[in-house]
A and B are shown apart, each in its own frame.
Chain A
Amino acid sequence: MADSVAAIAALPLPLPEKLAMLRTESLTRGFQNEELVRWAADHPGLASGEQWCAKAWWGAAAGEVVRDYLYDPHRRAVALDLVERVDDAALDEARRQEKGVIVVTAHLGPPKFLMNWLVEQRLPLLVWTNTRDLPSWQAAAGDTTFVDPRTQDQKSVILINSAIHLRRGGVLLGAADLGTGDRVVLLERLGISWHFSFGLPSLARRLGIPMVTALALWDGERIQIRIDSLDPPTHDLAEDEWNRVWIDSYWAIIEPVLRGSPENFRFLRQAVEQVAKPWEQTGG
């Protein structure tokens, strides 16, 4: 299964054609992915049958092929050309407040795509990300700073430098759905255990920084950039209550994606790991 994705990725064809080939491949491969089939059977309210498996498989495979392009400085523009629609008025509006902006994303859609799209917008950008799988050319280039919040001894450093960056009018991008921060809440939603980190909302609450959510999502075989304002809870709430209300607002944005587009489902790690990662083979 993994070989078929790598083989398609290596073909001398335009990227849209490779994505279309993967769609055909997904019609059979999706059902052969034991992890996907088992997961769908265990979550009948969310995942329904054959179409769900095919779409989820396609999203995982296409995401890795696109990542192969993103990690190559000579081909990344081809991947970014997949963007068909951009709804980013909320980001512009937040930036006009001149307080800095926290851009909260989630692990949905093609991996690293939103980050790369934001990098191209030439914003004063600080990114919380897994730096271990960043290509070396990207970690060292441009105006964007990448930091890894998983490093235990650096968590405080990252949080405080992020606060300073925001106060200087910068933009901070991070995800709240992986539980890599120090204060994490575990919630059961849609039959899945979710770990939410409170680092980003803590900065927003304490500094009065506007927040938006941002997602890069598959829309057919093109990509939509979707940015929504994330109105903060009223400031007089106690911290725990503030965080609960914040999670509800965040969840209201990501839940329809989880329910409506299996292509954008990226939480099934074992299933994704059965799909080849061409960028690992090209050393991107």
Chain B
Amino acid sequence: MNRETLTPIVLEVVRSRAVHFCGELGLETPLGSDGLGIDSIGVLEIILELEKQTGIILRDETITAETLATPRSLIEHLAASERGKHG
């Protein structure tokens, strides 16, 4: 699964959890309090839903704040995890 395939999935899942956000969701929109206002449990829900929809299971405890910063950083991490699985 590459970035192009992941992008609409990530945006849709993030949008579904950003219930209080009325603006335009972009790849650089921050997930946290400075953007979509999604709390930690909301971010957990996003990750678990993305795993379910993409089949990419995160296995290493290497998540950082940068990984979870925006839809784009999520896509990059998922894509890298997918490459690692096959690499």
Contact = CB atoms under 8 A, between A and B. Distances in A.
B44 A198 contact: no
A206 to B, nearest CB: 6
Among A160, A165, A203, the one with the most B-chain Cβ atoms within 10 Å of its Cβ is A160
A129 interface: no
A155 interface: yes
A112 to B, nearest CB: 23
Contacts of B61: 161, 164-165, 168
Interface residues of A, number: 23
Nearest to A202: B41
A52 B36 CA distance: 49
A183 B41 contact: yes
B63 A206 contact: no
B68 A206 contact: no
A62 B61 CA distance: 37
A164 B58 contact: yes
B48 interface: yes
A32 interface: no
Nearest to B59: A164
Contact of B68 (A160, A167, A168, A199): A160
A62 to B, nearest CB: 35
Interface in B57-73: 57-65, 67-68
Which 8 A-B residue pairs are closest in the complex by CB-CB distance? A182-B39, A155-B40, A156-B43, A156-B40, A161-B61, A182-B40, A159-B40, A160-B63
Interface of A: 153-161, 163-165, 167-168, 181-183, 198-199, 202-203, 206-207
23 contacts: A154-B65, A155-B39, A156-B31, A156-B44, A156-B68, A157-B67, A157-B68, A159-B40, A159-B41, A159-B43, A160-B43, A160-B44, A160-B68, A163-B48, A164-B59, A167-B57, A181-B40, A182-B39, A182-B41, A183-B39, A198-B41, A206-B44, A206-B45
